[in-house]
Structure 1
Amino acid sequence: MKQLFILLFLFSSVSLFAQQRDSRVREYLPPTRIVWQQESQLIQGADHLLLPGNGQSDLANRSICRLTSTDRQHPAILFDFGKELQGGLQIVTGMPSSHEPITVRIRFGESVSEAMCDIDGANGATNDHAMRDFTIRLPWLGVMEVGNSGFRFVRIDLLDDSVELQLKEVRAISTFRDIPYKGSFRCNDERLNDIWQTGAYTVHLNMQEYLWDGIKRDRLVWVGDLHPEVMAVNTVFGYNEVVPKSLDLIRDITPLPGWMNGMCSYSIWWVLIQRDWYYYQGDLAYLKEQRDYLTGLLRLLISKVGEDGVEKLDGGGRFLDWPSSENPVAIDAGLQALMLQAMKAGGELCKVLGEDALAAECDAVRNRMTKAASKVIKPFLKSGVAPDAPGSKQAASLLALAGLMKPEEADRKYLAVNGGHGFSTFYGYYMLRAMAAAGNYQGAIDVIRQFWGAMLDLGATTFWEDFNLDWLPGASRIDELVPAGKKDIHGGYGAYCYKGFRHSLCHGWASGPTSWLSEYVLGVQVVEPGCRVVRITPHLGDLDWVEGTFPTPYGVITIRHEKGADGKVRSQIDAPSEVEIVR
C-alpha cells in the first residue's frame, strides 16, 4: 500500500510539473552596438562585449571589458540589441583582484531616451508591470540573469567607488515561442513588406504565457485589444494555444454579469473573437466548451438593448479606444455598431451550437437595432466634429462594418479625409477594413505606408501603443540620443495612461496592417468555418505583384498575383485538397 501511495504521489508530481512547463525558448543575443559611454577613459575593451558569448565565466579572463571607477567618476555604457525583445539580461563577470560583489544600476529602454532617463514621477517612466530601473550586486567570476520586460536598449552604470568591474559578456535573453511563420506576404514595395513583417513580429513578442497587450506595460489579457492580435495570429501562425488559453482566462475570471476588463465593449469583443477564431480554425469542440458562458453573455447583452432598438450598455466604461474617449457621440455610435455585430456573430455561433431559439432572438434584436440606426447616426453626423478628429474615424469605421452607414459614405466623409491623420493604432485595423468595404483599397494601402511606415522611419522594430502623424515634424529617431533642437518622440508625447516613457513601443493591437494586407491585397477571405471554403480576390492597387502564403487547418495556401501589361491580374494558387477556393 505504501509503495502504491509513493507511485501515485510521483505520478501526480510529474503531471503537475508537465502542466507548469514553459513552452517558450530562450535565445542569448550580444549587443549590436554601443550607443554611448560615460567616462569612456575609464572603460577598456568595450568592443569585446559585441562578440558572441557562451554564458560561461572562466579562468582565462581574456576578452574582458574593464570599467574602473574613482570616488568621483563612475563609468556607464548604453547597449543596443538591434531590435525590440521580450526577456532580460545575462551578465558574465571576470575576476578582478577584489572578490567583493560590485553594485551596478541597470536601466531597460524601448528607446535610447527611455534607457537614459530617471523615474522622476513626471516623465512617465515607471517600474509598473516589469522592473526597468533597478540596482543589483554582481558576483566575482559568475553569471547573473536579471529582468523580464520589453526592451531594445540597456544602460549599465557602475555605482561603487574605486572598484574595477570586469565584464566578459552582456547578453540579452530573448524569450519567445519558437513557432514558424506559416503565413507570409511579399510584393514589389519593400515598405509594405517591412510593415507586414513588423506587425507579425509585434504580435509574436506578445505571445508569451498569454497573449499580452504589451511586453513592457500592460502585460495583461485585455480582451478587446486582443482582436487585432488574434487576426494576426490567424494570418501568420495559424492555430496556437495562446489564443484559447487567453480567451479562457478572461472568461474564467469574469463571472457573469460582470464585464470583461471592466468594460462592456470588451465582453462584446470576446464574442467577436470567438466567431473569428471558429471561422479560421474550425475547432467545434472548443466552441462547445464556450456554450454556457457564450449564451449567458448574449442574453446579458440582449437585456441591454431597449425596445427602441438603442443599446443601453452600463456598468463598466463605455469605451472604444483611448483617442475616442473624449468624443461621447462617437462612442454612442460605435457601441451601437459593436452591439449589432455581436448579435450577428452570436446568432451565427448559436446556430452552430444548436441554440436555435437564442439565435432567433439575436437576429430579432439585430433587426431592431438596425431600424434604430438613425437615432445614433444622426447625432454623430451632426456633431460638427472634424472628420479626422479622434473618434470620428473610429465610429465611422464601426458603423460601416456593421452596415449602419454606407461604406462609401463613411470613406468619403471620414476615413479618406486627410490620409492617416485621425487614425489610431488599435482601431486603424477597422478603419482599413471599412475603406476596403468602400472599395478604396488604394487609399488604405497609402495610409498603411504613411501611418505605420512613419514608425519604421523613426527606428521602430515593433509597432506602438499609440501614434499620431502630428508628432512627426522635428522628431528624433528612437534609436539615437535626441539631438539638440529635435523632439523626443517617446518621452515627449502620449496621453491618457501612456504619457511619456510609459508609452509602450510594442503593442499587439497595432498589428492591423499584417492581417489586412493578407486579407485584401493578397486577397484571402475565409468563407466557411475551418477554412473549408476560402475566397481569394486580390486588390493590388499600384502594386505590380504580390505573393504569399496563408495557413489553414489543412495546410498552407500558396498564392501569387501578377499584374500584366493590360492591367489584368493573373493568379497562381496552390491549396490543400480539403480547401475549396472560390473567386
Structure 2
Amino acid sequence: MKNLKKILLIPLLQAMVIPAFAQKASWIWYPGDFDIYMSNVMQNRRTERGSFFPVFWKMDSHYVLVDFHKEFTLSEPEVVKLFVEGTYNVKIDGQALTGFPKSIRIPAGKHKLSLKVYSQATVPAIFVQGKTVISDESWLTTFEDKEWIDASGKTSDKSGTNFVSAGSWGLTDPYSLPSAFKLPVVKHTAVKTEKAGTGYIADFGKETFGFIKVNGLKGKGKLSLYYGESKEEALSTDKCETLDHLEIDLTNKKDSVMPLSKAFRYVNFQPENGVSADSISMLYEYAPVTERGSFKSSDAELNKIYDVAKYTFHLNTREFFIDGIKRDRWVWSGDAYQSYLMNYYSFFDAPTVKRTLLAQRGKDPVTAHINTIMDYSFYWFLGIYDYYKFTGDRKFVQDIYPRMQSLMTYIDGRKNKNGLLEWMPGDWIFIDWADKLSKDGEVSFEQLLYARNLETMALCAKLANDSENATKYEQQAKTLKAKIFDIYWNQSKHALVHSRVAGQPTENVTRYANMFGIFFDYFTPEQKIAVKEHVLLNDSINKITTPYMRFYELEALCAMGEQSYVLKEMKNYWGGMLKLGATSFWEEYNPDKKGTEHLAMYGRPFGKSLCHAWGASPIYLLGKYYLGVSPDSPGYETYTIEPHLGGLAWMEGKVPTANGDISVYMNKREIKASAATGKGKLRIKSKTKPVAKGAEIKEISKGMFEVTIEKGVEYLIKYSS
C-alpha cells in the first residue's frame, strides 16, 4: 500500500509543478470586476471611532457567472494546469470534461479552450498554465453567452454574444487566490514613547499607515488604542477619529495585530489594570511602486517640499489612488484625477491608474454621477484621455469607451432647456471646500468641464473607430463653448462670471472657471492676460485655501509663465505646513488659523486629514512646469522640454515615461538633457543664440530657440539668461 501511494502521487506532483521554460501566466477575470470587488473591500474598511462608515454612493458588484475562452494552435500535445476561483466547467472544442479537472491534456492542432466560472462571494477568475497555453489579457470573456439549443440538442453557432478582452492585475502566483490579495507590509518601531495615563504615547516619528502590533500582550481586562495624526488627537480619547477597544484574556504572552490598518503618527496605548504588553510596533503597509521621477534644486526648502509631497502621495497610493489615509480612504474621482497627474511625474504606475478608473466607473446602468458629484464625473473622463496621452495605451481607451458612452448619455440626459447643466435631485456640485461658494443656477465651472469632456469624447470616439459619434461630440463641444463665452464672459470684469441664475448672469467672479479656461486653452491670448491680472493675481477675488484647487490655480499661473511667482507661493503654502511640523501634506491649510485650529474640519476638532493626496501637487508642478517636460503625442513619441528656473540657481530631475526617463539639468548658463524615448524639442529663452555641440539650434521666435532631442543622446546647451 505504501508503494502504491507513492506511485499515485508522482503524476499529481508533476501536474502541480510549472515548468521553468513556460511563458508567464496571470490570473484573469471579466474586465473591471476585480477592480470593483477590491475597491468595495477597501472602501468599506472605513471606521469612525470604531463604527463602520460606508460610502455615500451606489456600490456595484462583479458578475457572478463568467465565460472565458481562447483558441490555440499547438505543434505538439500540451499538458495544461488549471487554477480557478469559483465553481467551474471546462470545455475543449465545445466538449465538456468530467468533473473539476486540475490538469488537462490538449492534443496538437487548433483547439478552443473554454472555462465557465460561477462565484457569488468572490470574482470568478482563472489561471491557466501550460508551455504555450497561458491565461492573459488576450483571452476573451463575457458575462452572458446567449447560447441556445434547438430541438435536436444542437447548440447555436452564433449567439450575438459580446466578448471582450479579459482583465488582469498581473498576479502571477497560481496558489494565491485573487480574493486574498493584500499589499505588502514591513515592521517599523516607534522612535520614542512618553508616559500618559495608565499607559503611554508611542511616536512613530512621522505620518504613517499600517497595522499596530502589540508585542507580549498579557492579562485580563480592556486595552484601548487611540490613534492620532497629531499628538493632540491621540491624547483626546473622546474625540480622536480612530481607535481600537479590545477585551483581553491571556494567561501567556501573545503578540496581537490589529485587524484594520490605520493612519497615525502617534498611538495612545491605554491598558486597564491587569493588562500589560512589552511594546507596540507596526506593520507598515505600502504599495510596491518604484520611485522613478526626481527633483532637486538650489533651494533646500523646495527640496523638502518635493520629498514630503512624494511621501504624501505614496501613502495615498494603495490598491487604488485614495483621498486620504486617515478618514475616508475612498476612491474620490476629483482626488484621483490629480493623483494620476502626480503619478505621471513620479512613479509612472499605469496599472493603478487603470484600476482606479475602472473601479470608479462601476457598471451600467448609470443612476448617478461618479461619487454623486457632477464635477467628479467630468474628472473621470479627463483622466482617461490623459492616461492615453501619457502612456499611448490605445487598447485601454477602446475597452473602456462603451462605459464612457453610457456615462455621457446619462449626463446629456440631465441638461436643462437651455442645454446647460445645473443642480438636479441626487446631484452634488462640489467644486471646492470654500465658504459661501454658490452652487445655484447654471455654474460656469461645470459647463466648462462639460465642454472639455465632450472634446475628450470626440477624441476617444476616434480612437475607438466610432467616427459618427466623434463628429457628434465635436459639434456638441463647439456649440457649448460658444454658449459659455456668450453667457459668462463679462468684458468689464475681464473674466468669466461664476454663474447664471434665472436666466441672468451674476456679477460674481471666482477663480475656478477662469483658471481652467487658461490651461484648457479656451481663452484668446488677450483674454488670458486679462484673466491673469484681474482674477488670478487679484487679491480681492476670494482666495483658495485647499491644496485641491491651489493645484489648478498654480498650474494656470505656470502656464502663463509665472514660475517665479508660483515658486514663492509653493514656499509660502507648502512651506507653511512644514514650519508647523507637517510630515505629510494636508487636506486644507489656512495660514490665518492658529494652533489646534489647523486640526479641525467638518465641525470636528480632528476631522481634517493631515495626509491628503491632493496636497502633493508640487510633484506635478515641478515636473511639468519647472523641469518643463510634457508629451506632445501619446506615450511621449514626441515631447517638449521647456525648463524654467523660476528664481532657482539650478535644478535637476527626471521625468519617467513608459519607455525610460527624460533627464534635465539647468542652471543660469547651461542646460543638460537626455531621453531614453521618443523625439523631443528643447525650448530655451536666451539673449543670444545658444551653443550646443553636435546639435542644430534654430530660433523659433525672438529670443526663443529650439533644439531637437534624439533618443539616447546627451546634450549640453550653453545659453545666456
For the 8 Å contact 1:232–1:511, the answer to whether it is kept is: yes
Residue matched to 2:548: 426
Residue matched to 1:22: 181
Aligned CA-pair RMSD: 2.9
Task: Please report how far the alpha carbon of residue 274 of structure 1 lies from its aligned counterpart in structure 2 after TM superposition.
Answer: 0.4
Q: 1:365 to 1:155 in 2, by over 3 A?
A: same
Residue matched to 1:366: 477
SS of equivalent residue, structure 2 residue 651: strand
For the 8 Å contact 2:641–2:680, the answer to whether it is kept is: no
For the 8 Å contact 1:239–1:553, the answer to whether it is kept is: no
2: CA distance, partners of 1:322 / 1:448: 20
Task: Please report how far the alpha carbon of residue 212 of structure 1 lies from its aligned counterpart in structure 2 after TM superposition.
Answer: 1.2
Residue matched to 2:518: 400
SS of equivalent residue, structure 2 residue 368: coil
For the 8 Å contact 2:302–2:571, the answer to whether it is kept is: yes
Which shifted more, 374-383 or 258-267? 374-383
2: CA distance, partners of 1:417 / 1:453: 22
Task: Please report how far the alpha carbon of residue 514 of structure 1 lies from its aligned counterpart in structure 2 after TM superposition.
Answer: 1.1
Return 5+ residue gaps in structure 1 as ranges.
39-73, 476-486, 565-569
* 1:148 and 2:229 correspond: no
SS of equivalent residue, structure 1 residue 367: helix
For the 8 Å contact 1:251–1:260, the answer to whether it is kept is: yes
Task: Please report how far the alpha carbon of residue 305 of structure 1 lies from its aligned counterpart in structure 2 after TM superposition.
Answer: 5.1
Q: 1:416 to 1:431 in 2, by over 3 A?
A: same
Residue matched to 1:229: 339
Q: Out of 666, 672, 684, which is 1:572 matched to?
A: 672
1: CA distance, partners of 2:667 / 2:613: 31
Residue matched to 1:42: none
Task: Please report how far the alpha carbon of residue 234 of structure 1 lies from its aligned counterpart in structure 2 after TM superposition.
Answer: 1.2
- Paired residues for 1:38-77 under 5 Å: 38=196, 75-77=198-200
Residue matched to 2:348: 238
* Residue identity matched to 2:314: H
SS of equivalent residue, structure 1 residue 154: strand
* Residue identity matched to 1:284: R
Task: Please report how far the alpha carbon of residue 534 of structure 1 lies from its aligned counterpart in structure 2 after TM superposition.
Answer: 1.4
Q: 1:459 to 1:331 in 2, by over 3 A?
A: farther
Residue matched to 1:323: 434
Residue matched to 2:488: 376
**TM-score of the superposition, structure 2-length normalised?**
0.65
SS of equivalent residue, structure 2 residue 443: helix
* Residue identity matched to 1:548: G
For the 8 Å contact 1:329–1:383, the answer to whether it is kept is: no
* 1:489 and 2:589 correspond: no
SS of equivalent residue, structure 1 residue 77: strand
Q: 1:259 to 1:325 in 2, by over 3 A?
A: farther
* Offset from partner CA, 1:164-201 (integer Å, 9 cap, x none): 7241x321221001222100111111221122222222
Which shifted more, 442-451 or 373-382? 373-382
* 1:270 and 2:270 correspond: no
SS of equivalent residue, structure 2 residue 639: strand
SS of equivalent residue, structure 1 residue 426: helix
* Offset from partner CA, 1:519-576 (integer Å, 9 cap, x none): 0001011111111111110111111111101111111111111112xxxxx3211111
* 1:292 and 2:292 correspond: no
Task: Please report how far the alpha carbon of residue 238 of structure 1 lies from its aligned counterpart in structure 2 after TM superposition.
Answer: 0.7
For the 8 Å contact 2:422–2:443, the answer to whether it is kept is: no
Which shifted more, 419-428 or 435-444? 419-428
SS of equivalent residue, structure 1 residue 328: coil
Report the structure, 1 or 2, having the larger helix content.
1
Task: Please report how far the alpha carbon of residue 518 of structure 1 lies from its aligned counterpart in structure 2 after TM superposition.
Answer: 0.6
Q: 1:217 to 1:17 in 2, by over 3 A?
A: same
Q: 1:300 to 1:6 in 2, by over 3 A?
A: closer
2: CA distance, partners of 1:303 / 1:571: 52
* Offset from partner CA, 1:351-403 (integer Å, 9 cap, x none): 22222222222222222222222413444398565x7xxxx233332233344
2: CA distance, partners of 1:154 / 1:365: 55
Task: Please report how far the alpha carbon of residue 509 of structure 1 lies from its aligned counterpart in structure 2 after TM superposition.
Answer: 1.8
* 1:37 and 2:195 correspond: yes
For the 8 Å contact 1:340–1:370, the answer to whether it is kept is: yes
Report the structure, 1 or 2, having the larger strand content.
2
Across the two proteins, how many residue pairs are aligned to each other? Answer: 504
For the 8 Å contact 2:632–2:640, the answer to whether it is kept is: yes
Return 5+ residue gaps in structure 2 as ranges.
1-96, 105-116, 118-124, 128-172, 491-496, 500-504, 684-721
For the 8 Å contact 1:187–1:545, the answer to whether it is kept is: yes
2: CA distance, partners of 1:290 / 1:283: 12
1: CA distance, partners of 2:410 / 2:659: 36
- Paired residues for 1:63-142 under 5 Å: 75-93=198-216, 100-120=219-239, 125-127=240-242, 132-137=243-248, 139=250, 140-142=252-254
Residue matched to 1:63: none
Aligned-residue sequence identity (percent) comes to: 23
